[in-house]
Amino acid sequence: MQVGIIGLGVVGLSFASVLGSKGISVIGMDSDFQKIEKIISKKSLFFEPKLESFLKKALSKSLEISSDIEKIVKNCDLIFLTVGTPKSKSGFIDLSMIKNASKNIGVSLRHSTKKPIIVVKSTVVPGTTTNVIKPLIERASRKKAGKGFEIIANPEFLREGNVIDDTLKPHLVVIGGSNKNSVNRLKKFYSKLYGSKIKFMTTNTQTAEMIKYANNSFLATKISFINHISSLCQSISGTNIDEVAEGIGVDPRIGRLFLNAGPGYGGSCLPKDLETIIQFSSKIGVNPVLLKAVQQTNDLQIKQIVQLIEKKLISVKNKRITILGLSFKENSDDIRESRSIELIKILLRKNSKIIVHDPKATKNVERIFMNKITYANSLSEALLNSQCVVIMTPWRVYTKLNNNDFQKMKKKLVIDTRRILSRKNLNVEYLAIGLGLN
Ligand code: NAD
């Protein structure tokens, strides 16, 4: 099968690189010419472990990059839609990119003899594949679904920082569609790609779309739950949130993953998907009381970090504060909805002097704050004369920080939002999210 991928961002580029590296004939397309040029020159658009080497391999084997959607529609049997579905100004899902791509597919399909299967991998609210994307393609192509093309919802579950491994070995493939033949063809494609042991879940399009939102809402709920318990721990002398997480995590009904207390969830998926499903719930008359509490708890985390800093510095005005880690998680340079950005904004409003460090994400942050903050090239530069250091992202390099590194701080105050350092080894004032003071 000839495969096409429309939208070469985190999801599309990873998928294209994995398929191409395995010798599967694939055309990747994006509407952004600068991105296309960069990909053709074998450079990944963002930092992601293993991605660049898979991309290079794919380009040398069977991945073709194009800006021509017609080429995809006229040649491909399977067309994956992986364009962005960001938050609009109102917070609800912005479908403009997926609507554009759907119209463009339809126009190219009008004079094509192919009958492709269009596979919606982008995250969209329940009903979108059938009620929005399908009619747009039908109108633009003047062909009916089932006759001129097939349509399937196939949400993606990869984790940034791990995209290649997750694309190579997903825990589950969810396929939502009403046409048995096309569902089976897609299953066959995935079985060839992943082997016979891959787990499938087949359902209708709206349930497949709902599974994605339920998945992300549950993950966000776990994070906010443990963050709430962590706030309790912080107020109870001697308690340790990681031991609490360990203790409940061994219960098979609960599980240990996503029980790491910290500054709250961020990134390109959880915040936007939660906000969208909250608004979607209200629109269809279901009170989203639980999910709103999840969101409010997340917002509280960053405020608590500010309170911790203020408790020790009294006033943060004109104080030199170091932020370590800017990306929303380690092994990624993605700063979308990163809690570090939120923290910097709050501290700037309070007139602190901010110096930041991140192994990969500094350039992305420069675009937001320009010369309002200082960007350190090294950890020693970041800590020099600082009056407080806040560890936000658990990059490996920060786990190795020791007394020598803090030597040149003006005030040796360390706030560890991820508990990656050990209080007993440090000769500094050490505060951590989720650790009760002795
Ligand atoms: P992204 O913003 O990184 O990339 C989207 C790409 O689509 C961009 O390169 C953009 O130029 C391109 N594009 C936009 N309109 C286009 C058009 N009309 N034609 C061709 N290309 C177009 O987005 P992403 O993070 O890869 O996410 C894609 C989808 O997958 C979203 O719905 C997202 O919610 C979902 N998702 C993302 C992740 C993740 O970790 N990033 C995980 C699971 C699901």
Chain length of the chain: 438
Convert the pLDDT of each residue in 404-416 to its tens digit. Answer: 999 999 999 999 9
Residue range 33-60: mean pLDDT, rounded: 95
Calculate the alpha carbon distances from 144 to 5, 97, 139, 254 in Å.
Answer: 22, 22, 8, 45
Q: Which of 8, 45, 83 to mutate to test the pocket of ligand 1 (most atoms within 8 A of CB)?
A: 83
The yes-or-no verdict on residue 91 having pLDDT over 80 is yes
Annotated active-site positions, please? 269
Q: According to the model, what pLDDT value does residue 114 have? A: 95
- Categorize the per-residue pLDDT at 76 as very low, low, confident or very high, splitting at 50, 70 and 90: very high
Average pLDDT over the chain reads 97
Convert the pLDDT of each residue in 136-145 to its tens digit. Answer: 999 999 999 9
Q: Compute the distance between CA of residue 408 and CA of residue 325 in angstroms, rounded to an integer.
A: 19
Q: According to the model, what pLDDT value does residue 265 have? A: 98
- Categorize the per-residue pLDDT at 193 as very low, low, confident or very high, splitting at 50, 70 and 90: very high
Q: According to the model, what pLDDT value does residue 45 have? A: 87
Residue range 263-270: mean pLDDT, rounded: 97
Q: How far is the CA of 319 from the centre of ligand 1 (A)?
A: 39
Q: Which of 106, 100, 107 is CA-nearest to residue 149?
A: 106
The yes-or-no verdict on residue 438 having pLDDT over 70 is no
Convert the pLDDT of each residue in 346-399 to its tens digit. Answer: 999 999 999 999 999 999 999 999 999 999 999 999 999 999 999 999 999 999
Identify the residues whose C-beta falls under 6 Å from ligand 1.
6-12, 29-32, 35, 82-85, 97, 100-101, 122-123, 156, 158, 160, 268-269
Q: According to the model, what pLDDT value does residue 44 have? A: 85
Calculate the alpha carbon distances from 297 to 224, 227, 404 in Å.
Answer: 6, 8, 36
Indicate the DSSP class of residue 378: S
Q: How far is the CA of 308 from the centre of ligand 1 (A)?
A: 37
Q: How far is the CA of 87 from the centre of ligand 1 (A)?
A: 12
Residue range 410-430: mean pLDDT, rounded: 96
- With 0-12 CB in 10 A as exposed, 13-18 as middle and 19+ as buried, what is 176? buried
Q: How far is the CA of 417 from the centre of ligand 1 (A)?
A: 30
Convert the pLDDT of each residue in 94-116 to its tens digit. Answer: 999 999 999 999 999 999 999 99
Q: What is the DSSP string of 216-278?
A: HHHHHHHHHHHHHHHHHHHTSTT-BHHHHHHHHHTSTTT-STT---SS---SSSHHHHHHHHH
Q: What angle do helix axes 205-234 and 241-249 make, rounded to 10 degrees?
A: 140
What does the block give as tokens for 166? 């997750």
Q: According to the model, what pLDDT value does residue 43 have? A: 87
Tell me if 216 sits within 8 A of 273, measured CB to CB: yes
Residue range 106-133: mean pLDDT, rounded: 97
Q: According to the model, what pLDDT value does residue 168 have? A: 97
Residue range 300-308: mean pLDDT, rounded: 96
pTM for the structure as a whole:
0.96
Q: Which atom of ligand 1 is nearest to the CA of 6?
A: 20
- With 0-12 CB in 10 A as exposed, 13-18 as middle and 19+ as buried, what is 286? exposed
Tell me if 29 sits within 8 A of 97, measured CB to CB: no
